[in-house]
Structure 1
């Protein structure tokens, strides 16, 4: 009987360990409907992208295939308010997760790939390795957030940028944004 109980507890422990999400360099984390890959990791941060993302380069290209110069600054304007972005993040989390996230140092960036009309095609997330919420978030919940962000994140493309095939920009979220929500 003790042996049977020990086996059951061991199996339960292994199931719990396997259920924990861990985003780390080179690792793919699979959900029921989506998988996320971690292509970059620094001492402090981790970057996570949907495995179905196609444009995974930082380089931007003009439609004629030439590389957009590194010092090129996009001339468009964001087509959303920061408070809308923060509310979308808040809606993706439980109240307990939100309060925990608010109480910690927040370093969170959304790397956006948009088409030349300003619609978001792909998103990558960058957050602290020690982030108490996003470093452990279930891939399917992260995908729901990604889906909602793609609807929100729009860029009003400047005239000079319309020749670029995929526009790339970063949307940061900081402690002030989160605490004021």
Structure 2
């Protein structure tokens, strides 16, 4: 037994527990980032819910065999459902095209913010935040280094709110039009 104890003692690797410094996050940044995360989540959930509703119709159901994995795939499927179910209602197709286009642009800004490496050390002095993002494994393939202020975060938040409002408007108007009998039929086959 003593031999096992000595053997374990010799093979033991020292471990040091270290804690990093806590980075204080300015309240203005926290507020806008939380708003971006929450509002974007609402937008994606509305897209998924509306797509699921439309997928109940055979015309839309034929558009996909499996659920989309990326945001761009989800919003494209949503737009295809609108186009397949309402081929003769130009205003629906136009709104869907705009929502899809703007949603993709906003998603790039949102993804950069959510997945980037933040440095807020100059915020108190200069009002600027530094954000670094990169991709690659063995070496850096792409690198982006940005500086921005809280106004940029507020603008991304406002853009997300605008696309959420547009989506809510389109869904609400489709329901209203259907309840008033203004939508006469849904095509049987996909275009």
Report if TM-score (shorter chain) is over 0.5. no
Q: Which has the higher strand share?
A: 1
Q: Which has the higher helix share?
A: 2
TM-score normalised over the length of structure 1: 0.28
From the CA coordinates, give the structure whose radius of gyration is larger.
2
TM-score normalised over the length of structure 2: 0.27
